[in-house]
């Protein structure tokens, strides 16, 4: 399978460049009969789109999505759903000089080595802009999962640069452009970002994404485990350098008697597993954490080389997110939703006939 | 694609259960003309196999692999290579009672929910034993990568339970059953493990895996990124709960001016990226860290439920690794090698005609 | 993999409905550096498009293709190439009544059973219109194959209804709207089609497609054989009911001493194999024949049932091809080209290192 | 996906060579809970195995299959089912000289061009022996389809060389080694084969395969159509040169008013479609016809070249089927069953929620 397609049964084929005519995707394999219109996709696109605050790129894109196929009389027909988003604010002039050099930490160099050519306009294919179609496709997945199982996929910011962000409630997350779960920390975040922007530097972030209402049984024992699929999906997002499920790296120092989540008739007594046991969902919430690296396009001058490998100094002007992590929450939610719908379809393909005398254990402690 | 197959062009289809007649895999897509015999696969199998020290399971398996196909006159023919390992020391009596309950932290419960049935003998398909065929397949990948590019894939233990293990040299790693890169810490590790075993408890671990000599250009920009494939491969190993590439979670608190690896005519000045930029290898060493959770099968009594969801206490006797992380180094190396060969084949499929006036930058600082 | 994606490395994801806003596809995996613009795609689209003669549907579509991505400065970049064709002449009113009944021989009934819903406007997804994106994608494949190996993929009409059409030259094929290889038979074909149209009936056709300049070695021994991929591609075209490679069904009555193509230093002495031996290309021209059924949408009244399975009589007005075979030649060429580029990439992925002391045998007798 | 794996959800990875230690396959994705043992697989293996009459190869193989995994207490567990068949009667001496030349019509030449190496012992991977694992895997598919839908997949010989074989009943088919549906023609077939063997020549054949009890709705509209998958599966069998669904090539000369199967409340009035409309099953029997070429390994001397492309004369001794079509019936049945189970699983993955007020139309006239 070629690299720009995600998923096995609910399959998303992404296309586009930052400054080409359009970006979008083809979603194949969606179950038929789902009520769907552009209005279902726009809210998540709006949550991701640039220009929501001064702390993100000031590129002006409405990110209006057009559904080109797969819908009849307001419902999915089971045939491919093509989604199109026109690029509106492409300024190629900002980037022309970059074609001769490689930004440290950027895909510039590796694209050039791989393909012998790269589209330097706005980062071309490596732009975070290409996550918009993921978000649109993810919104379809979220809707179907919600209707089918009551699944809810939500994320929030856990750390911005060095600042840890406490989580108080999902309501708070929706009330600020940082996807921060606490109102109190907002002034500190804003101050940090303002300083960063003044300095012409960038920072990384850590996000947490949680899916509740996930049915037990999704995933496979080996290789194509649910957690492996999630790790793949998350690390497939630009700038992600680390993924944890449940206790994650903390699990290394835990004892077995501490880590293994006890089962009771009322459900699991803890969720160190993050909702996945042996590669298969347990019915507990799926708990994922991801780390995003700082943006590589910064104003501060840095050493690099040019196409002839001669030393140069690179300083990147133009419009860039000083922290891509700020806008990444809807992206991570979307990717998790895409994994879950795919695994839900795969699971029922093989196991639709499995019957149980008992309903699943309740999720228990989150 | 069904769940037990790994890879797209270099494809490994794994089969078997802990106490069934045999385990193994079919490796399809191997380039022809590679010298190969069982002797190439056995050393890594021996590094992984049980019984190498008192700190791992005492199950007695020779893990002798038989090549059933795909070789003619000592060379690969390009057709599928089937690998067979007979199970020799299967003691079903140890596990019969477990069929009625679910070990906390174990796949017992999720298999039952998914399939309505599970093979309880020795953990069935969820046993770490199923990593042996991965290791055998990985040895083929290692050999081809080494011959083709000089690639070297190596790993070592970075943390055992709470104990951090310094890395001094690769030579040290080969000299002890812990895959520890330092001789000095061995007594502490042994003491810790002895206490753990006495207590009937288990612990987790952190490993580092490094691939040097990886050509630039492997991977895809989006979704099917090299780092995404690596994360998938690593999280596809039993017990892994976290994956980092390069700086990993540390990247969150780094500034862009610190994280982005500068380029010089002599190569990269640092390797926070871990050898992957924009989803594509840069020619620097691939740096991966993984966290493994503690084994779920422990002697200490724990709360659980039975098949009727009634409360029970579970204490697991039998032969188990108190720390699966100890034997996981060759497994993680194998999975990384499997990703790299697959991506190398994918890369040349698309880009075999790409020519560059200049050779790649040297890797620079590791 | 979901059903609307063709190919493994050169992957085409098709979308659209006959009377939706647009049709198109995403082509992923194209090698970088290929000169490409809309002008390369339009000629084949024009060969396929409706309205070229009175013998095909009179729907008016310019079939102008827009390239949305994957091209920079006139060359492919190696990233997905999205192709968009707007539907211009959609008349939904022609089809509204059809939604209540099923045309005999049409996908109406099976779509309804599969999805519980169908888009009845112009046949929705089952319309022959959806072959336009195949043709556009195929034009990319043709160009790359031609540049890389001198491959030439061409087809012509061999039979229209009961009329056998002799083949005199490829030049003739290009000079008429039937893709007939003989000028002399044109009056008979036109007369036959005029009568058919008057009667409100339709007919089938047989096409031959030939690819010359195909390198030896493409394909796999088992399952994913080159001929299997070709059969899959051809039978994936609307209305195709039969596929032959080389001697095809005639091979049944041939003796081994007659069928097996002898090899000489000057090349093969015959081509009963149609260019494929043991699932792998021999370097001889690939010879394919396909049979297309008559169009199911005809004016003549026929028995059917309605959504409640009550008997009805169906007579289909609207604009339909009385013989879809007439326009199918560029489609079949495109699908064959898509198979060949995919197999060429797959082949070099695995076998790029294979060296031979001798060049391949010349193709010999075509 | 590499070439030796068949299927998307019910996935069969085939391995082995004619004279290697063993042949077999890994079946991944089988639904759990199916009663299964070797006894379910052996009957079809016995129908295919060599030595059933003097008209097929006299190689002596018991074709005993061993199930290595995926079964617990007599039922499938949902994990991979590995099947192993040891080669018992491998006589390498018969084939040693062949390594220097290429049999006309054989894979000898193309393997050599593709891989640079080939296993000449008994045809290596290109041997018809490799269809045994297909037959074993197909037996699992048949059993599941029969239990789930009452599907019955059966085939018979329609033509042997130039002799057309009438079909009288399925009972007759089971009573002779030709899979002929008529007792009366057996003497003619035997006489023909005896003469062929005396002459050292070979012949082709045509088979018909029918699947009844196939639920409506299997398949996809475009590319991955049910008929495309069937064509792929059939052309993936050694020696197959042509595939027809329903009316096949006859459809070309049919009028639309004749070909389109009318629908009545009692079912379809005819089955020219062969059970597939618009790429999706209609609930009518699936009707497939395939043509097999004559065996290429014959005693009659033929012109060829050696590894240096010098002219030679080749005459093939050893044990070969003079007509591979005779033993191909269970193989074609198996491949059709493999397609159907795969499509059934894919269908319910996407469309499990589709509800209809009415049951499907009865199949009507076969």
Residues of chain D contacting residue B36, judged by C-beta atoms under 8 Å apart: none
pLDDT grade for D366, boundaries at 50, 70 and 90: low
Chain Cα centroid distance, residue A334: 6
How many CB atoms are closer than 10 A to CB D318? 15
For residue C129, give the DSSP letter. Answer: G
pLDDT at B54: 85
Question: Side-chain half-sphere of C55: how many Cα atoms within 13 Å?
Answer: 24
Closest residue on chain B to C78 (Cα): B350
- Find tokens 């860290």 and name the residue: B289
In chain A, what percentage of residues exceed pLDDT 90? 85
Contacts of C221 in chain B (CB under 8 A): 79
For the segment A5-38, what is each residue's pLDDT rounded down to a tens digit? 999 999 999 999 999 999 999 999 999 999 999 9
Burial group, residue D360, by CB count within 10 angstroms (0-12, 13-18, 19+): middle
Determine the Cα–Cα distance for residues C44 and A125; give it in Å rounded to an integer: 29
The span from the CA of A290 to the CA of A287, in Å, is 10
DSSP classification of residue C364: B
Q: Among all residues of chain A, which has the CA nearest to that of D342?
A: A349
Q: Which residue, among B207, B203, C14, D290, has the nearest Cα to A259 in the 3D structure?
A: B203
* Start-to-end CA span in chain A (Å): 36
Question: Whose structure tokens read 């380039």?
Answer: B31
B265/A310 CB distance under 8 A: yes
- Stretches in chain C below the pLDDT threshold 70: 1, 91-96, 366
Give A 227-266 residues with CB within 8 A of chain B: 227-236, 238, 240-265
Whether the CB of D33 is below 8 Å from some CB of chain A: the reply is: yes
The predicted model gives A199-218 an average pLDDT of 97
Report pLDDT for B320.
82
Please judge whether D257 and C300 are an interchain contact, meaning their C-beta atoms are less than 8 angstroms apart: yes
DSSP H or E stretch at residue C302 = strand C302-305
Strand partners, C148: none
Best of C72, C92, C117, C127 to substitute, by most chain A Cβ atoms within 10 angstroms, is C72
pLDDT number for residue A92: 59
- Chain B residues near residue D70 by CB distance under 8 angstroms: 15, 17
The DSSP string of B139-159 is: HHHHHHHHHHH--EEEEEEEE
- Residue A9 has its nearest CB partner, among C2, C4, C82, at C2
pLDDT at residue D318 is higher than 80: no
Q: What would the 3-class secondary structure string for chain A be? A: CCCCEECCCCEEEEEECCCCCEEEEEEECCCCCCECCHHHHHHHHHHHCCCCCCCCCCCCCCCCEEECCCEECCEECCCCEEEEEECCCCCHHHHHHHHHECCCCCCHHHHHHHHCCCCCHHHHHHCHHHHHHHHHHHHHHHHHHHHHHCCEEEEEEEEECCEECCCCCHHHHCCCCCCECCCCCHHHHHHHHHHHHHHCCCECEEEEEEEECCCCCCECCCCCCHHHHHHHHHHCCCCEEEEEECCHHHHHHCEHHHHCCCEECCEECCCCCCCEECCEECCCCEEEEEEECCCCCCCCCEEEEECCCCEEEECCCCCCCCCHHHHCHHHHHHHHHHHHHHHHHHHHHHHCCCCCCCCCCCCECC
What is the average pLDDT score of chain A? 94
Beta strand D22-28 with D11-16 is antiparallel
Low-confidence spans in chain B with pLDDT less than 70 = 1, 91-96, 366
Task: Give the mean pLDDT of D216-240.
Answer: 96
> Is residue B74 within 8 Å of B37, Cβ to Cβ?
yes
> Residue D193: helix, strand or coil by DSSP?
helix
Q: Subunits that touch chain C (at least 3 Cβ pairs < 8 angstroms)?
A: A, B, D
Region A328-344 average pLDDT: 98
What is the model's pLDDT at position C321? 86
Which pLDDT does position C270 carry in this prediction? 97
Q: Which chains touch D (3 or more CB pairs under 8 A)?
A: A, B, C
Nearest by CB to C228, from D235, D302, D309: name it: D235
The alpha carbon of D250 is separated from its chain's Cα centroid by a whole number of angstroms, namely: 23
Least reliable range by pLDDT among B20-29, B82-91, D254-263, D343-352: B82-91
Q: Which residue has the higher pLDDT, B175 or A59?
A: B175
Q: Would an 8 Å CB–CB cutoff place D313 in contact with chain C?
A: no
Cβ contact (<8 Å) for B348 and C352? Answer: yes
CA dihedral A141, A143, A148, A153 (to 10 degrees): 70
C-beta atoms of D9 and A348 within 8 A: no
Strand partners, D333: none
Among B1, B82, B110, B113, the residue to mutate for chain D (most D Cβ within 10 A): B82
Confidence at residue C123, expressed as pLDDT on a 0 to 100 scale: 85
Band the pLDDT of A260: cuts 50, 70, 90: very high
| Contact between chains at B78 and D115 (C-beta distance less than 8 A) | yes
Higher pLDDT, C97 or A135: A135
Nearest CA in chain C to B221: C79
pTM higher than the cut 0.90: yes
Q: pLDDT, tens digit, for every residue of B174-218? A: 999 999 999 999 999 999 999 999 999 999 999 999 999 999 999
Contact B248 A291 (CB under 8 A): yes
Distance, in angstroms, between C77 CA and closest chain B CA?
Answer: 11
DSSP state of D320: -
A247:B241 CB<8 A? yes
């Amino acid at each position: 399978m070629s690299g720009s397609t995600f998923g096995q049964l609910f399959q998303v084929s992404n296309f586009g460049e930052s400054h080409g005519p359009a970006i979008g995707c083809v979603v194949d394999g969606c179950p038929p009969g789902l009520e769907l219109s552009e209005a279902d996709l726009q809210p998540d696109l709006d949550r991701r789109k640039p220009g929501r605050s001064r702390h993100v790129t000031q590129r002006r894109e409405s990110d209006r999505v057009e559904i080109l196929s797969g819908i009849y009389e307001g419902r999915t027909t089971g045939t491919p759903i093509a989604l199109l988003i026109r690029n509106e604010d492409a300024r190629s002039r900002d980037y022309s000089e970059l074609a001769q050099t490689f930004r440290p930490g950027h895909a510039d160099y590796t694209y050039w080595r791989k393909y012998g050519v790269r589209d330097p306009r706005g980062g071309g294919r490596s732009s975070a802009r290409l996550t918009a179609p993921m978000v649109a496709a993810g919104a379809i997945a979220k809707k179907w999962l919600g209707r089918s199982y009551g699944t809810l996929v939500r994320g929030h910011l856990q750390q911005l640069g060095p600042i840890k962000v406490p989580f108080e409630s999902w309501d708070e997350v929706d009330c600020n452009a940082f996807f921060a779960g606490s109102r109190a920390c907002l002034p500190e975040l804003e101050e940090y970002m303002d300083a960063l922007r003044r300095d012409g530097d960038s920072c990384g972030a850590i996000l947490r994404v949680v899916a509740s209402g996930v049915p037990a049984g999704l995933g496979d024992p080996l290789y194509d485990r649910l957690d492996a699929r999630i790790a793949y999906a998350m690390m497939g997002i630009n700038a992600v350098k680390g993924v944890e499920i449940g206790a994650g790296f903390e699990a290394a120092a835990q004892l077995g008697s501490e880590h293994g989540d006890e089962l009771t008739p009322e459900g699991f007594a803890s969720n160190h597993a993050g909702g996945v046991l042996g590669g298969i969902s347990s019915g507990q919430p799926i708990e994922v954490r991801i780390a995003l690296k700082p943006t590589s396009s910064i104003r501060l001058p840095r050493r690099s080389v040019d196409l002839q490998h001669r030393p140069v100094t690179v300083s990147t002007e133009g419009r860039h997110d000083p922290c891509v992590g700020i806008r990444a929450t809807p992206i991570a939610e979307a990717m998790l939703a895409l994994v879950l719908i795919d695994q839900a379809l795969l699971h029922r393909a093989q196991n639709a006939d499995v019957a149980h005398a008992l309903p699943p254990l309740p999720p228990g402690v989150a």
